[in-house]
Structure 1
Amino acid sequence: MPHRDIPNQNRRNAKALRSNMTEAEKRLWRVIRAHRLEGISFRRQMPIAGYIVDLAAPQHRLIVELDGSQHGDQQHAEQDKQRDEALASAGWTVLRFWNADVLQDLDAVCRKVLTVCGREVS
């Protein structure tokens, strides 16, 4: 995937977010970083289409978003829907998980990611 020009402010924001990951992001990152999940390459806090996504697997055009409880209210849900539509129109698939899903059943989250990436899950 070719590199695209990223506004400096987005680049700074992404770097700051990488330094302040949530507990759920940290746990999932420990499992998927450095090609640990079936060799899939992930990036964290990656700028895409004007947004900064939690985790992305560029070769699979997959975005993984981890949501806290604030995403359950109507305003955040509508913003997430618009964001997901914009990312989908840019050619990306967006998977959303609640933080609790990652903290309580990390294996199920990883199985879903593998399935979307076309990897067989036993």
Structure 2
Amino acid sequence: MRGIRLFERNRSRDLRAYQTQAEEKLWRRLRGRQLAGWKFVRQHPIGPYFGDFVCRERKLIVEVDGATHSSDEEIAYDARRTTFLEEAGYRVLRINNIDVSQSLESVCDTILAALERD
């Protein structure tokens, strides 16, 4: 069990170290409870997957997707991943890199609406 936790911690660190520009930009708005007091963590392990940004209190995962999520194979993988996460009790909100880059405030409004939804 200790080896699994060490792997998860190392993988989380790697994912945080190599985040996209959009992920970095969104994290600057989510970190430190800046979004209406909600706490988010980055690259949080959930089963075999890692959520980009996770509000554990509301069980909301915000995924920031770019061009690497457009092939049939990647779409199928994302669908399997989303199914697993939803079966684990999470809601998955997918945000496009371009939306983060061009309309960060609208993205934050969308996330806030999802957090406040039952």
Q: TM-score range by the shorter chain?
A: over 0.9
Superposed, 1:93-108 pairs within 5 Å as 93-108=91-106
Is 1:86 the counterpart of 2:84? The answer is yes
Secondary structure (helix, strand or coil) at the match of 2:19 reads coil
Q: CA deviation at 1:108?
A: 1.2
Q: CA deviation at 1:31?
A: 0.6
Structure 1 gaps of 5+ residues are none
Secondary structure (helix, strand or coil) at the match of 1:55 reads strand
Q: CA deviation at 1:41?
A: 0.1
Which residue identity is paired with 2:9? R
Superposed, 1:31-42 pairs within 5 Å as 31-42=29-40
In structure 2, what is the Cα distance between the partners aligned to 1:74 and 1:8? 32
In structure 2, what is the Cα distance between the partners aligned to 1:50 and 1:29? 22
Which residue identity is paired with 1:106? L
After superposition, the CA RMSD in angstroms is 1.3
Is 1:55 the counterpart of 2:50? The answer is no
In structure 1, what is the Cα distance between the partners aligned to 2:80 and 2:5? 21
Structure 2 gaps of 5+ residues are none
Q: CA deviation at 1:7?
A: 3.0
TM-score in terms of structure 2 length: 0.92
Secondary structure (helix, strand or coil) at the match of 1:103 reads helix
In structure 1, what is the Cα distance between the partners aligned to 2:106 and 2:73? 28
Q: Which residue of 2 aligns with 1:29?
A: 27
Q: C-alpha deviations, 1:52-99, integer Å up to 9, x for none?
A: 111100001000001110101111001000000000000000001111
TM-score in terms of structure 1 length: 0.89
Q: CA deviation at 1:16?
A: 1.0
Secondary structure (helix, strand or coil) at the match of 1:59 reads coil
Q: CA deviation at 1:15?
A: 0.8
Secondary structure (helix, strand or coil) at the match of 1:25 reads helix
Counterpart pick for 1:10 among 8, 23, 28 = 8
Q: CA deviation at 1:27?
A: 0.4
In structure 2, what is the Cα distance between the partners aligned to 1:22 and 1:70? 12
Q: CA deviation at 1:11?
A: 1.6
